[in-house]
Amino acid sequence: MEQTFIILKPSAIKRSLVGDVITRFQRKGLFISGIKMMQLDEAILRVHYAHLVDRPFFPSLVKSMTSTPVIVMVLKGNDAVAVVRSMVGATNCRAAAPGTIRGDFGMSGQENIVHASDSPENAIIEINRFFSPEEVFDYPMLTQAAIYAPDEV
Catalytic residues: 115
Give the number of other CB atoms < 10 A from CB of residue 137.
Answer: 12
Given candidates 46, 57, 63, 145, which one binds ligand UDP under the rule CB under 6 A? 57
Q: Decide whether 119 or 128 has the Cβ nearer to ligand UDP.
A: 119
Q: Is 112 in the site for ligand UDP (CB under 6 A)?
A: yes
- CB 114, min distance to ligand UDP, A: 8
On the CB side of 69, CA atoms within 13 Å amount to 7
Choose the contact partner of 78 out of ligand UDP, Mg ion, none; CB within 5 to 8 A by kind. Answer: none
Q: Are 71 and 21 in contact (CB under 8 A)?
A: no
- CB 109, min distance to ligand UDP, A: 5
Give the number of other CB atoms < 10 A from CB of residue 140.
Answer: 6
- CB 100, min distance to ligand UDP, A: 11
Phi-psi group of 79: left, alpha or beta (phi > 0 → left; psi -120 to 50 → alpha; rest → beta):
left
Restricting to residues 67-106, which ones interact with ligand UDP according to CB under 6 A? 91
Q: What share of the chain is helix, strand, coil (3-state, %, to 5)?
A: 45, 20, 35
Helix axes 120-130, 80-88, angle to 10 degrees: 90
Q: Is 120 in the site for ligand UDP (CB under 6 A)?
A: no
Given candidates 67, 68, 110, 144, which one binds ligand UDP under the rule CB under 6 A? 110
Q: Decide whether 49 or 148 has the Cβ nearer to ligand UDP.
A: 49
DSSP at 97? P
- The residue ranges that bind Mg ion (CB under 5 A) are 118
- The residue ranges that bind ligand UDP (CB under 6 A) are 49, 52, 57, 61, 91, 109-110, 112, 115, 118
